[in-house]
Amino acid sequence: MGDLGTDRAAAWEILCEFTKSDSLRKHAIAVETAMRAYARKYGESEDKFGIVGLLHDFDYEVHPDMERHPAKGGEILRERGYPEDTIRAILSHANYLNIERQTYMEKCLYACDELCGFITACALVRPSRSLDDLEVSSVKKKLKAKAFAASVNRDEVYEGPEALGIPFDEHVKFVIESLRPVQEQIGLQPMN
């Protein structure tokens, strides 16, 4: 067995062991995909970034509260031999744990997590149910509608690209484009 920090099959197995919800699995794939795209952009390990994205919420279904998620998940990953940088990145996506995000991997996870969920929600209410015709302006308009996808933390959506030093619009566009190739896997409809 190779490095668990880059072994997607092992990560998928853990995700499926703890996450039965189809929508949570789709969210994990979306975040994994955006993370891999950012790894390419920054010349980092796509596999390492991808695993962090895939596993960031793996324990949420069994620990759906701030007292346990993702801290208990971190303990599970540590017991199973995951590298500390993977665990730290996953823990750092939860603001309430007060772990300062230092690496690109940590900052990218924070920047992608809430936004991936929000972009998916935006696409699902479009007549096309697709990312192919989703524009940054539509995402920004929906962000202003507090009742739309109300569980998405707007502050985190805005803070993420700021921490990466990327203009907000550029980040949203980048994530939309990164998700287009996997839209069927995440429950959306490609238009072609």
**Domains identified in the chain, total number:** 1
As a whole number of angstroms, the distance between CA 188 and CA 150 comes to 20
CA distance from start to end of the chain: 39
In a domain, 93, yes or no: yes
In a domain, 105, yes or no: yes
- Say if pTM beats, i.e. exceeds, 0.85: yes
**What values do phi and psi take at 91, rounded to 5?**
-65, -35
Q: What is the pLDDT of residues 127-153, one digit of tens each?
A: 999 999 999 999 999 999 999 999 999
Q: What is the CATH number of the domain that holds 38?
A: 1.10.3210
In a domain, 40, yes or no: yes
In a domain, 191, yes or no: no
In a domain, 192, yes or no: no
In a domain, 78, yes or no: yes
Domain that holds residue 104: 4-182
Q: What's the whole-number average pLDDT of the chain? A: 95
Q: Is the pLDDT of residue 1 over 80?
A: no
Among 72, 67, 55, 70, residue whose Cα is nearest residue 17 = 55
As a whole number of angstroms, the distance between CA 192 and CA 190 comes to 6
Q: What is the pLDDT of residues 18-65, one digit of tens each?
A: 999 999 999 999 999 999 999 999 999 999 999 999 999 999 999 999
In a domain, 22, yes or no: yes
As a whole number of angstroms, the distance between CA 85 and CA 82 comes to 9
**What values do phi and psi take at 16, rounded to 5?**
-70, -30
Q: What is the pLDDT of residues 108-121, one digit of tens each?
A: 999 999 999 999 99
Among 72, 95, 93, 75, residue whose Cα is nearest residue 84 = 75
In a domain, 187, yes or no: no
**2 pLDDT band (50/70/90 cuts)?**
low
Question: For 144-157, b where at least 16 C-beta lie within 10 A, e where not — what string?
Answer: eeeeebeebeeebb
SS3 50: helix
Provide the phi-psi class of 129: left if phi over 0, else alpha when psi is between -120 and 50, else beta.
Answer: left
Q: Is the pLDDT of residue 91 over 90?
A: yes
As a whole number of angstroms, the distance between CA 119 and CA 116 comes to 5
pLDDT at 5: 84
20 to each of 13, 25, 62, 64, how far by Cα in Å?
A: 11, 8, 10, 13
